[in-house]
Structures are given as structure tokens and as C-alpha cells.
Chain A
């Protein structure tokens, strides 16, 4: 008798993984005690024994990949990326936080400060103020470079607190009082006729800056508090940098991703059980559907809202009725910009940076 393999048996599905393995491959099962099958199976030979090729080729990737933009406004974007691995999603997140450049105040020249806030503390506060300016218009400035119109932005802060008609003027110094100096520094280096910057032309001549004067993104950030007679007079020099060096250059407040939650009802849940299930969920994932003759049935209406609190699988026998899962290759990505660039542009910048990195790794090898 010729030897037969179990794989040749008629009940063995060919070319496809059996359903339980397919579930383990594509879903994280979030049971009441712990999450199972959290790994992503990337190895091409992972299912070699079942004669299934797990490799992923470029064409298959492009065919399967999808983007859905969920919401987009001036500061935030939420979009779904379907068909990518966690490694790619995480690379974008890391690049958005640490490697997309912005402009931030780096050097502060204090001419006078009689307020109670110390110079170094004030300088640190100024550094954290988000500036509304496109960093792509500027170049990086190294320690040896002279400050010129292509790598430095100069802002002036000159406030005096005084009593006027029984009122105190300028008691709080706000970020809107930072004034852009398109012609560069106004302070002279001692014993010379030169200033701290050497601009060859005014930054206002740049067409992109002409219509959008540089200022703080938010006008109402409190920088310091003054009492009558106190004053602050300083010049702040902003340069280009990235979040890796200091978080003040990070262009995002948050960039995060999560896997799509999936709630599965393992059996029909009816009547009083259905009502109990709707009652159990704190974020209102389930709805009740009315059937004929006054009967009711629970349905999963808003799985995207699920926070995986697992309230629905706790309690007697509920883990047999409901299962919470996460879809491994479906990422809900959300980016919150601090204002230098719109969030969709930020994401495209991060893709470009990753591409540049890839190119560099190829070019510099040979």
C-alpha cells in the first residue's frame, strides 16, 4: 500500500489554513485573564508543514493594502491602515515623534529680566512654545554655522508691567507678545558693529512667509507673570531640529495606533441575556434588535468603540457567549499635530523620511 499523508485526506482544506489557525494568525484573542496569539506571524515558512506559503510578495501587499481616512481637520487625523504589519505602523509612529523636523526656540539672549522667573526657566518655557512655521523652508544649523535667514528665526519679547489708571498692564506675558523680527537680531555684539545674526535679506521676501507671518501657534500660552515695575526684554533664536534631540522639536502632541477591536457573539443572545449584555457594556457597543412576537436579540453595533475592558466576558458563562478580538493587520492610526504642519502632511513627511532611510541603507553599502 502506498503511504498516504494526512494532508491528502479529503477533509483537509487545500491552499487555505484551517479556520482555527487562520483565526490565530489574523486575530488577537482578548480573553478575560490574558490576551492570546499576540505575535504576528511573518516567517514565510511558518506553515510549511501544512504546505501553505506564508511569504508576502510586493504585488500581494499592494493589492491588499488599504487606507481609510476616518476624520481629518486642521490639527488631528484618524485613519485606518489595513494590511500592514505592526513593524511598519510602529516605524511611522517613532518617526513622527522623534524624526520629523520642526522649528523651536533654541537660544535666548536676555537683555533685561527683573521678573521673579529665572532666565533659564524662562528660556526653557520659550523653547516649548510651538511655532507656526513650515520647517521645510529652513535648513539645519550646525554649531559652526553663522545664523542667517535660512537657518534662524528671531523673535523678540519686550514687556514692561505698569500700573495705569488703577489697572495693572501686562501682568501676564503671553505667547502672542512674541514678535517676529524678519530682519534678524537687533542686538549688537559688544565692541563690534555686528549683530548676533547675519541676514543677507529680510525673511519677509520669502513668498511663503510673506502671507503667513511667523508667530506662536497658540496666542494664549502664559510665559511669565509680572508685577508693576518689572520687565522682560529678550531675543529668542529658533532653529530647526528633531524630537530625537529634544522633545520641543517633536511635531506631534501624540502619534498613536491601535488594532481594530472586533466583538464576536459565539451564539445567539436573546431576551433577558441580550438586555444583560447591553447593560454590561460601559461604552455601549451592543444594540438590541427586536424580533417578531416580542423577542429580542443582541447585535454588535459599534465594535470600534470597544475599549477592551472585558466587562462583557466576565461573569458566569459569558466567555462562552462573547469573544473580544483585535484584528492584527488593521491599524487605527491617529496623529495630533502641534501646529507647525497639518497632520496629513506630517504623515507624508514620515513616509518620506522612512524612504530616505531605506535608500541610504542601500546606497551606503556599496
Chain B
């Protein structure tokens, strides 16, 4: 049959870049990031993180088609920043927020488990 292989949803094909950066030719400080083999999970979370940045004027994401396994993230920033800088900062911040989240979850779980044992 002509069904696509199941692994095509998460394996980046050879010769294709995981993340591609493309500057917008018509708008200042605007760019599109194409992320291969990702979906709403990462698209929505990056969009949210970018919105919190005061230098970001616009950010949005879309899945062009359910059978094309990629997301497009569009960013426009003020002249104080650049899409690349905003993108890097958003992901770095997100990473640290997740660390903080993980720590508090682990400590609460440990406390809960010890109270159960007592």
C-alpha cells in the first residue's frame, strides 16, 4: 500500500535541517522559523513565551498541513531586538522555567510520599 512509514512523523529526513531560519524581505525585523517534525506541542509553547517578551511585536505559529510534519513560527520584533535573539531568549527562558517546575514537582512529590509512609 502507499501509506507513509510511521517513523516519518518524527524522523528528520537526511539532508533536511531541523530548524530553518528565513528573514522576511518586506518587513523589518521579521522572520519565519520552520521546525521540521514538530507540532502544536512546541509551536504553541514558543508562541506563548514570545508573547511575554516586551520586544516582540508579533508572534504566531501554524501547521501548514496535517500530513506535512512541520510548524512555521513567525516573529516580528522591535528594533531593539531581532527575531533570532527573541527566539533564542524565549527557548532559554522556557528551559529554565521547566527546570524550576521540575524541581518544585520533585520536592512536593517526595514530601507527599514520605507522608504516605508515615
Question: CB within 8 Å of B: which residues of A?
Answer: 42-45, 53, 55-58, 61-62, 65-69, 72, 79, 81, 84-85, 87-88, 90-91, 94-95, 99, 142, 242, 244-246, 344, 347-348, 351-352, 354-355, 357-362, 364-365
Contacts and interface: CB of A to CB of B under 8 A. Distances in A.
B105 A351 contact: yes
Given A55-B54, A85-B48, A99-B41, 20 more contacts: A42-B48, A42-B51, A44-B52, A58-B93, A58-B96, A69-B111, A72-B109, A88-B45, A91-B42, A91-B45, A94-B41, A142-B7, A244-B10, A354-B98, A355-B98, A357-B38, A361-B38, A362-B88, A364-B17, A365-B19
A365 B105 contact: no
A68 B108 contact: yes
Given A42-B51, A87-B44, A61 B97 contact: yes
Query: Which 10 residue pairs are nearest across A and B when measured between Cβ atoms?
Result: A364-B18, A42-B51, A87-B48, A69-B112, A56-B52, A44-B54, A365-B19, A62-B100, A55-B54, A87-B44
B81 to A, nearest CB: 12
B62 interface: no
B51 A361 contact: no
B7 A351 contact: no
Contact of A360 (B18, B46, B52, B56): B18
Nearest to A83: B101
B53 A44 contact: yes
Contact of A67 (B35, B91, B105): B105
A65 B98 CA distance: 11
Nearest to B38: A357
Contacts of B112: 69, 72
Contacts of B23: none
A140 to B, nearest CB: 10
Contacts of A244: 9-10
A243 to B, nearest CB: 11
A78 to B, nearest CB: 11
Contact of A362 (B45, B92, B109): B92
Given A67-B108, A72-B116, A364-B17, A245 B9 contact: yes
Contact of B53 (A55, A94, A347, A362): A55
Interface of B: 6-7, 9-10, 17-19, 21, 33, 35, 38-42, 44-48, 51-54, 56, 87-88, 91-102, 104-106, 108-109, 111-113, 116
A11 B94 CA distance: 38
Q: Is the interface of A mostly helix, strand, loop or mixed?
A: mixed
Contacts of B9: 244-245
Contact of A61 (B10, B40, B41, B100): B100
Contacts of B48: 42, 85, 87-88
Contacts of B93: 58
A53 B54 contact: yes
Contact of B95 (A44, A56, A344, A355): A355
Nearest to B113: A72
Contact of B54 (A45, A246, A357, A359): A45
